[in-house]
Amino acid sequence: MSTSAPAFLLSAAALFLLLSAVGATDHIVGANKGWNPGMNYTLWANNQTFYVGDLISFRYQKTQYNVFQVNQTGYDNCTTEGATGNWSSGKDFILLDKAKRYYFICGTGGCFNGMKVSVLVHHLPSPPRSALAAEHSSTGSSAPAAVGSVGRGVLGGVLGVVLFFGLGCGWI
């Protein structure tokens, strides 16, 4: 609400740099259609692959809609009881920090009109070469791959902190 333009630009630039650095993706729900009624977000979700450290972001009219993270029951029945998170800025970035299935719904009734999305987040893929090496030999050199994952994990943590801080300050 009291977001200042320079702070917003700074956080947007920081996000961009961090996302580029870690190779993480920001999955914009509904792409250019955003988070709105009358969509089939299963089709949208089926068309992308989610990895730990990626972001999912929701863009919508904050006076009409919002976002709740729920469990499968909440997703199936459009109920927000026991929700583990809620967002309402109209431009919400949510870090997918675990390999599991996430469920998000709109808590203002839009869920009954399709505003629900479920995404399965995968562990980071191992580079093909080290996967092959692991399969065919126990002496394959997988050190670079290990360093890569650790580096990405650390940067993912930094991204999480920036996001947390940014949300706390109302930047994003």
Ligand X SMILES: *[C@@H]1O[C@H](CO)[C@@H](O)[C@H](O)[C@H]1NC(C)=O
Q: Which of 3, 4, 42, 61 binds ligand X (CB under 6 A)?
A: 42
- Candidate ranges 8-16, 40-48, 131-139, 158-166; the one touching ligand X (CB under 6 A): 40-48
Report how far apart the first and last C-alpha atoms of the chain are (Å, whole number): 10
Residue 92: strand, helix, or coil? strand
List the interface residues with ligand X, window 138-167 (CB under 6 A).
Answer: none
Q: Report if residue 113 touches ligand X, rule: CB under 6 A.
A: no
Count of residues in contact with ligand X, rule CB under 6 A: 16
List 12, 13, 17, 81, residue binding ligand X (CB under 6 A):
81
- 4 contributes a contact to ligand X by CB under 6 A: no
Cα–Cα distance measured from residue 22 to residue 154, given in angstroms and rounded to the nearest whole number: 9
Rounded to an integer, what is the distance from CA 171 to the centroid of its chain?
A: 17
Is residue 84 involved in binding ligand X (CB under 6 A)? no
Q: Considering only 2-10, 17-25, 73-81, 130-138, which stretch makes contact with ligand X by CB under 6 A?
A: 73-81
Q: Is 77 in the site for ligand X (CB under 6 A)?
A: yes
Instruction: Out of 3, 61, 73, 141, name the contact with ligand X by CB under 6 A.
Output: 73
> Reading across the β-sheet that carries 26-28, which strands appear in turn?
26-28, 55-59, 91-95
Strands (E), the chain: 26-28, 50-51, 55-59, 67-70, 85-87, 91-95, 101-105, 116-122
Tell me how far apart the alpha carbons of residues 89 and 133 are, in angstroms, rounded to a whole number.
Answer: 46
Residues that bind ligand X (CB under 6 A): 40, 42-44, 47, 71-74, 76-77, 81-83, 86, 114
